[in-house]
Structures are given as structure tokens and as C-alpha cells.
């Protein structure tokens, strides 16, 4: 396939692009490099430096490339920041995606895989969370993505857009040459690994008074490699299927303290931790019901164990910073 990948210079988009190219697909990355570097572009991809909001540019690119589909990863991703500056999330994630959808419609590009998030559910009433659960984001980031999902529903209904909205839970892990290094980094696993490498003195635990067994937040971690497989299956499935909304997680939750314990096992480092106040907008527990992706896509995660996910991240982290 010939694919346009927005946000393809970033952690997940870059990893998925790499795996797509390994599988023989042609990838063009569109990224404005607001949260990534040219040097981190996936090797072998064509690159266009542009903002998804630049509709004339995106439209011209779509006319030239005539892609079989678009994988849309470009977004701002920090739930914490979105509770301080919600406006930049609605501008960059929601309004800019509308410009992309308009450009796709104008050029007859009608297959899209969208990076949605577990944050659309907010604080779930029960776990595992099924796709039919109530949608009530507790942070503006989640709301900015939910609004995109709603637009996609209307573009499907009115314009016949075929789309897969993939609600990722917490993505982690690395390929041998490509891993997670956000700038700034806010995600728990790379921050913990920074401590193990001596790049930070300790890890902050944001809240130990949540209604969970050890008081710290529970998340469902999914290996970026497994996530990439689901994208390839989804874009292919859109040849036959018109619309899919699927969770991508492993169905097991780990608390912040359990993630730190796993990192201690994997790295052999003591990893000192300090309890800090809660981070605004964090739900206590997010664990995916992921049966739908398995039955609808035939997806089967190959690296569900937390220690294996941490090991791959650790190998890459050492290589990059040690
Ligand atoms: N990391 C996770 O655990 C997680 C979980 C759920 C969903 N997601 C979603 O996955 C996607 C990728 O996340 P990531 O961790 O790779 O983030 P990332 O910050 O590494 O990558 C995002 C990329 O998008 C680019 N970008 C942002 N706004 C842009 C715009 N307007 N025009 C063009 N490029 C733009 C950035 O420069 C960056 O390269 C995001 O949509 C995010 O919301 C991530
Ligand atoms: O230094 C830190 C960083 C995080 N945490 C905690 O660790 C957990 C995971 O936090 P992350 O920042 O790693 O990830 P989030 O769960 O906040 O969010 C991630 O997963 C979500 C989906 O579940 C979103 O889609 C989002 O884009 C992505 O950043 C949270 O309870 C957070 O409070 C800490 O205790 N200390």
C-alpha cells in the first residue's frame, strides 16, 4: 500500500512507519516537527514538513500521492498539559484534524486510521472497559480526541469516509533501533528508565491515595510493536469494513508501583521513588477490554508481559543515552 502517515516523526508514528516499510509498504511522513526532530524520521520514508492544518498543502500532497489511506498520529499528547492549556489541544488535535478531513474529502481519499485514546472514557464505571462504555473524558486531551471521533462518525455517514478509530491504552516498549523519547518526556516508563540510567535522581509517584489496591493509578501497557500490527490489520480491513472503533490494550492493569517494581527487576537498579500529589485529570484505573480487536481484526498481541515491554524499552534507552 501507499500510505500517508501524519505525525510519523514521533514515537508511535515513526515505529509504525518502520514496521510498515519492513512489510513492503510505501510511506510518506507528514509532520511539522513540533514535538520531534528531523534526525528521528523513520529511515526510508519520504518526508514532507508541514502542519496538518495547512489545508492547501495537504490537499496538494494528497492529489500528488493518491495514497490508499492515511494513518493519523499527529497530535499533542500530554493529558497533564491539556489541563493547563486546553485551547492548544482543541486547536491542534480537533480543529487541525478537521482541516485534514476536509482535504481528504476534497481529494477523494477515503480510508483513515485514527489514533484515539483510552482517555475518551474518563473514569470508567467498571473495568475492563468495553468500547460501548460511557464516553466522559476527565481531561481536555481526551475530549479533543473524542470530538474527532464524533466528526469521523459524521464524515462516514455523510461522505462515506471509511475509518478505524483505535483507542490506545498506554503505549510503551521499543524496536531495536527506535524507542520512546518525547521532548519533554512525561510518560512513566521512559522517566523510570532515566532514573535507572542516572539521568534523574528519582521517580515521582503522582498520588498514592487512589481507590486501587496499592493506592497508585492502574494502566494497561501495550507494546508498540503489537500496536503497529493492529494498524496494518486495520488499514487492510478498511477495504471491506466501513467503520471500526476498537480498544488496543492487553486487558491487564499494572499500578505505578508495579511498573516501578518491574523496572527494578529488569534494570537491577534500586529506582528511588517519591510520593507526590495527584496529577490533575488522571483517572484511577484504565484497563482495556480488547476482545473486539481480536475478533474483528484477527489481532493477537505477541508481547503482553510488562517485563518484556520494559526490557525492550530498557535496551533501547541504554543504547540511546548510556
Ligand atoms: N503514547 C501513548 O501512550 C498514546 C496513548 C494513546 C494515544 N496516543 C496517540 O498516539 C499518537 C502518537 O503519539 P506519540 O506518543 O507518538 O506522540 P509524539 O509526540 O511522539 O508524536 C506526535 C507527532 O505529531 C507531530 N505533530 C503534532 N501536531 C502536528 C500538526 N499539527 N501537524 C503535523 N505534525 C504534528 C509531532 O511533531 C510529533 O512528531 C497521538 O495522536 C497520541 O494522542 C498515544
Ligand atoms: O512521573 C510520572 C509520570 C506518570 N505517573 C503516573 O503514571 C501513570 C501513567 O502516566 P503516563 O503519563 O505515562 O500516561 P497517561 O496514562 O497519563 O497517558 C497515556 O495514555 C493515555 C491513554 O491511557 C493517553 O492516550 C496519553 O496520550 C498517554 O500519554 C499515571 O497514573 C500517572 O499519574 C507518575 O506517577 N509519575
Task: With a cut of 90, say whether residue 184 has pLDDT above it.
Answer: no
Q: Which ligand is nearest to the CA of 138?
A: 2
Mean pLDDT of 250-270: 98
Mean pLDDT of the residues in the chain: 97
Atom of ligand 1 nearest to the CA of 53: 31
Residues with CB under 6 A from ligand 1: 6-7, 9-13, 31-36, 51-53, 73-75, 77, 92, 96, 115, 117, 168, 170-171, 182
Same domain for 275 and 238: no
pLDDT band at 152 (very low <50, low <70, confident <90, very high): very high
Query: What is the number of other CB atoms lying within 10 angstroms of the CB of residue 212?
Result: 17
Mean pLDDT of 239-256: 97
pLDDT at 319: 95
Cα distance between residue 269 and residue 255, in whole Å: 19
Q: Are residues 6 and 66 in the same domain?
A: yes
CATH of the domain at 188: 3.90.25.10
Residues 180 and 87 placed together within one structural domain of the fold: no
Q: Is 168 a catalytic residue?
A: no
Report the domain count for the chain: 2
Domain of 201, in residue numbers: 173-219+251-321
d(CA 175, CA 224): 8
pLDDT value for 183 = 83
* 227/181: higher pLDDT: 227
Protein residue whose Cα sits closest to atom 14 of ligand 2? 187
pLDDT value at 321 more than 80: yes
pLDDT of residue 11: 96
Q: Which of the four pLDDT bands, split at 50, 70 and 90, describes residue 281?
A: confident
Q: For 284-298, how does the pLDDT look when each residue is reduced to its tens digit (9 = 90+)?
A: 999 999 999 999 999
How far away, in angstroms, is 66 Cα from ligand 2 center? 37
**Given 11, 89, 141, 163, which residue is catalytic?**
141
- Considering the domain architecture, whether residues 233 and 213 belong to the same structural domain is answered as no
pLDDT at 322: 75
pLDDT for the residue numbered 277: 97
Q: Which atom of ligand 2 is nearest to the CA of 77?
A: 27
Q: Could you tell me if the ipTM is greater than 0.90?
A: yes
Q: Are residues 180 and 310 part of one domain? A: yes
User: 296 C-alpha to center of ligand 1: Å?
Assistant: 25
Write down the pLDDT at residue 33. Answer: 97
Amino acid at each position: 500500500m501507499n500510505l500517508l502517515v501524519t505525525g510519523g516523526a514521533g514515537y508511535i508514528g515513526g515505529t509504525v512507519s518502520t514496521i510498515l516499510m519492513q512489510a513492503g509498504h510505501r510511506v510518506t511522513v507528514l509532520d511539522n516537527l513540533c514535538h520531534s526532530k528531523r534526525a528521528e524520521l523513520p529511515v526510508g520514508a519520504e518526508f514532507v514538513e508541514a502542519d496538518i492544518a495547512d489545508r492547501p498543502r495537504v490537499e496538494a500532497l494528497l492529489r500528488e500521492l493518491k495514497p490508499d489511506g492515511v494513518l493519523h498520529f499527529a497530535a499533542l499528547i500530554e493529558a497533564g498539559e491539556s489541563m493547563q492549556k486546553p485551547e492548544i489541544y482543541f486547536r491542534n488535535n480537533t480543529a487541525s484534524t478537521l482541516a485534514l478531513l476536509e482535504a481528504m474529502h476534497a481529494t477523494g481519499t477515503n480510508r483513515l486510521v485514527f489514533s484515539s485514546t483510552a482517555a475518551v472514557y474518563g473514569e470508567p464505571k467498571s473495568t475492563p472497559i468495553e468500547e460501548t462504555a460511557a464516553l466522559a473524558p476527565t481531561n481536555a486531551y481526551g475530549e479533543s480526541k473524542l470530538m474527532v471521533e464524533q466528526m469521523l462518525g459524521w464524515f462516514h455517514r455523510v461522505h462515506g469516509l471509511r475509518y478505524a478509530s483505535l483507542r490506545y491504552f498506554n503505549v510503551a516498549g521499543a524496536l531495536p533501533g527506535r524507542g520512546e523519547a518525547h521532548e519533554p518526556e512525561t510518560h512513566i516508563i521512559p522517566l523510570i528508565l532515566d532514573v535507572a540510567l542516572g539521568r534523574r535522581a528519582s521517580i515521582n509517584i503522582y498520588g498514592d491515595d487512589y481507590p486501587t489496591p496499592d493506592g497508585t493509578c492502574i494502566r494497561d501497557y501495550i507494546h508498540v510493536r503489537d500496536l503497529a500490527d493492529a494498524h496494518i490489520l486495520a488499514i487492510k480491513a478498511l477495504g471491506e469494513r466501513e467503520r471500526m472503533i476498537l480498544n488496543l490494550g492487553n486487558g491487564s492493569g499494572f499500578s505505578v508501583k508495579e511498573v516501578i517494581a518491574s523496572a527494578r527487576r529488569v534494570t537491577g537498579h534500586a529506582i528511588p521513588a517519591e510520593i507526590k500529589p495527584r496529577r490533575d485529570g488522571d483517572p484511577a484505573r484504565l484497563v482495556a477490554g480488547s476482545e473486539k480487536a481480536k475478533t474483528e481484526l484477527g489481532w493477537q498481541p505477541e508481547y503482553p508481559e510488562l517485563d518484556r515491554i520494559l526490557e525492550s524499552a530498557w535496551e533501547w534507552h541504554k543504547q540511546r543515552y548510556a
